[in-house]
């Protein structure tokens, strides 16, 4: 059983939804990202999505785009991100999912990437811009190394493709609640509950819902339908505001504890 599957099994047994937190590796630096990873774990993140910086992000809004630019300027690469995971793995038990575009992986080589990811202790990989129809090869490489391939589904994904994503995927499905790019929103998308219900008809794989979630009210609402809420841009904005200052780690911890309802704003 993978760390991701074990985590969602425990969440179900406890009767509570999970929290998946996204950060961009290398923002403000790889050394501080290491500190932030441990802060997220202490504060209660159930799964950590670690974004690999890429120069041409298609699905990321301005907050994450700027974080990516800062990370690239600080020297973050796929190789360096894998090194970071390997460095923290012995001490960090929280599942880590690499969130990346295909180009950096293709440059490294899909087989070499799968080997490096397995050796580093990566638990799951989400290749954002690889269509389900073309994902068979990399899915096989990852699954053979006990890494969970994670797939995206959206409001426009057909039932057939939801079934394909569930058949190829492991760990959980990542449902995006709205079309467009990532970013903080005032409320959860109107069609989010219906989207979750539609996906539930096609698969029993755990479901994490993201895009636009940044407030405890959003997390509580999503938790009524999905197995976990995904928070990205709101957290990345906190990191942007703190930069490399001493307040970075305590602010990150406070924000995540606020999202879970553990502490007031």
Averaged over successive runs of 10 residues, the pLDDT of the chain (265 residues) comes to 96 95 97 98 97 82 89 96 98 97 95 98 95 92 97 92 95 77 50 88 95 83 91 93 97 95 65
For the whole model, what pTM was predicted? 0.93
- Residue 56: the pLDDT is 79
**Both tokens assigned to 103:** 């180009």
- Residue 176: the pLDDT is 87
Q: For the domain with range 3-259, which CATH number is right: 3.30.1540.20, 3.30.360.10, 3.20.20.70, 2.70.70.10? A: 3.20.20.70
**Both tokens assigned to 138:** 């990399």
- Residue 187: the pLDDT is 55
214, 29, 8, 32: which is closest to 97 by C-alpha? 8
**What's the CA gap between 150 and 131, in Å, rounded?**
12
Catalytic residue list = 49, 60
Which residues are within 8 A (CB) of 191 and not within 5 positions of it... i.e. 6 or more apart? 155, 177, 178
Domain boundaries, the chain: 3-259
């Amino acid at each position: 059983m993978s760390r991701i599957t074990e985590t969602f099994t425990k969440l179900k047994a406890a009767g509570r939804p999970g929290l998946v937190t996204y950060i961009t590796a290398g923002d403000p630096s790889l050394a501080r990202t290491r500190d932030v990873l441990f802060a997220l774990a202490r504060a209660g993140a159930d799964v950590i999505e670690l974004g690999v910086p890429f120069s041409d992000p298609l699905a990321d809004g301005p907050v994450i785009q700027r974080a990516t630019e800062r990370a690239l300027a600080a020297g973050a690469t796929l190789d360096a991100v894998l090194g970071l995971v390997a460095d923290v793995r012995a001490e960090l038990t929280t599942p880590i999912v690499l969130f990346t575009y295909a180009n950096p992986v293709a440059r490294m080589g899909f087989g070499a990437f799968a080997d490096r990811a397995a050796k580093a202790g990566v638990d799951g990989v989400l290749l954002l811009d690889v269509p389900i129809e073309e994902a068979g090869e990399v899915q096989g490489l990852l699954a053979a190394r006990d890494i969970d391939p994670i797939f995206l589904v959206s409001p426009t994904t057909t039932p057939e493709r939801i079934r394909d994503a569930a058949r190829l995927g492991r760990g959980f499905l990542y449902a995006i609640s709205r079309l467009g790019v990532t970013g903080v929103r005032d409320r959860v998308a109107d069609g989010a509950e219906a989207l979750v219900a539609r996906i539930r008809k096609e698969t029993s794989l755990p479901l994490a819902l993201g895009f636009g979630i940044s407030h405890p009210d959003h997390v509580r609402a999503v938790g009524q339908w999905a197995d976990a809420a995904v928070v990205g841009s709101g957290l990345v904005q906190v990191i942007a505001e703190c930069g490399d200052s001493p307040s970075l780690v305590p602010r990150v911890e406070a924000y995540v504890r606020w999202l879970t309802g553990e502490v007031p704003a």
